[in-house]
Amino acid sequence: MPRSIKDKGETGDEYVIVIRWCDSGGESDGSWCASVYGVQGCHTSGSTLENVLDMVKEALDMCLEADK
C-alpha cells in the first residue's frame, strides 16, 4: 500500500511524496519508488527507504529548478 509524507522543498513550500514498494516481477527483488504529487515527471526509486527519501528530495529540487 502506498504511503505519503509531506516535505518542504528548498522554497519552503510543502509537497506530498508518495512512496511505494515496486516489485520488478523479474530477477531483481524490486525497489522503493517515490513520486511527488502535483509535480509532473518528479519520480525516482531507491533500494532502501532512506535512499529513496534522499533521491526524491534531490529529484524535487531538480524538477523545481527546471520549472523556473
**pLDDT classification of 9: cutoffs 50, 70, 90:** low
pLDDT of residue 50: 92
The CATH code for residues 3-66 is 3.30.160
Entry pTM: 0.75
User: Is the model more confident about 11 or about 33?
Assistant: 33
Cα angle: 4, vertex 45, 12; to 5 degrees: 50
pLDDT of residue 41: 93
Q: Are the C-beta atoms of residues 32 and 53 closer than 8 Å to each other?
A: no
Over residues 35-56, the pLDDT tens digits come to 999 999 999 999 999 999 999 9
Report the distance separating Cα 33 and Cα 43, nearest Å.
Answer: 7
Q: For the chain, what are the domain ranges?
A: 3-66
H or E stretch at 59: helix 49-66
Cα angle: 64, vertex 10, 19; to 5 degrees: 70
